[in-house]
């Protein structure tokens, strides 16, 4: 049985990847996400951080396409996302962490303006919002990442947390 709650969560994850909202996920969505993050934190595309973010976005797209683009048309439809990505990533969250890590690592470097390897809860929520993670989920997720309540989130916590979010446990 597929629950309505489960379907709602799948739809939210799909919307997070489908940054331009045109109904499928493709390379442009990953480029758009990188661009939006650079704009949010006023980092130029030409900088080392900007270049690393675009390289990570390309690797993330290639990894997702390898998992989910069954017909090889360079687009992941909602159906491909549900039947391919969600199931396979749920079965193998480590694989998701692996393909997402270079992008997330670069994204954190962009957002971690004082370069201490940690992000404030509000900056973490900012990153999540840029990626179209719904507001309530973004704030709850950012707060959950800071169990000792010091207002800082360590990078080592963020990659597994993203993996948990995107692999959508039932």
Interface residues with Ca ion (CB under 5 A) are: 18, 20, 22, 29, 69, 71, 73, 75
Nearer to Ca ion, 32 or 168 (CB): 32
Q: Which is nearer to Ca ion, 69 or 146 (CB)?
A: 69
* Lookup: tokens for 62: 């290639």
Backbone φ and ψ for 146, nearest 5 degrees, come out as -120, 70
- Strand, coil or helix: 76: strand
Question: Which tokens go with 3?
Answer: 């629950």
Distance CA 76, CA 89 (A): 14
Q: How far is the CB of 40 from Ca ion (least distance, A)?
A: 19
Q: Least distance (Å) from Ca ion to the CB of residue 72?
A: 7
Shortest distance (Å) from residue 165 CB to Ca ion: 19
Read off the tokens for 98: 């692996």
Shortest distance (Å) from residue 148 CB to Ca ion:
38
Nearer to Ca ion, 133 or 159 (CB): 133
Pairing mode, if any, of strands 152-154 and 24-25? unpaired
Q: Which is nearer to Ca ion, 70 or 117 (CB)?
A: 70
Whether the CB-CB separation of 74 and 64 falls below 8 Å is answered with no
Nearest Cα to Cα of residue 30 among 92, 91, 99, 126: 99
Residue 75 or 132 with smaller CB distance to Ca ion: 75
Q: Which residues pair with 77 in a beta bridge?
A: 24
Min dist CB 151 to Ca ion, Å, is: 34
């Amino acid at each position: 049985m597929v629950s309505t709650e489960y379907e709602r969560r799948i739809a939210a994850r799909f919307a997070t990847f489908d940054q331009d909202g045109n109904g499928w996920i493709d390379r442009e969505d990953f480029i758009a996400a990188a661009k939006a993050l650079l704009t949010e934190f006023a980092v130029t595309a030409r900088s080392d951080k900007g270049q690393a973010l675009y390289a990570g976005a390309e690797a993330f797209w290639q990894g997702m396409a390898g998992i989910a683009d069954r017909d090889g048309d360079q687009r992941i439809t909602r159906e491909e996302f549900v039947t391919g990505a969600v199931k396979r990533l749920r079965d193998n969250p480590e694989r998701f962490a692996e393909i997402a890590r270079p992008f997330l690592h670069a994204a954190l470097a962009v957002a971690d303006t004082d370069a201490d390897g940690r992000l404030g809860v509000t900056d973490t929520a900012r990153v999540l919002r840029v990626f179209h993670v719904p507001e309530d989920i973004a704030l709850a997720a950012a707060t959950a990442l800071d169990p000792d309540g010091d207002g800082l989130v360590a990078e080592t916590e963020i990659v597994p947390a993203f993996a948990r979010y995107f692999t959508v446990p039932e």
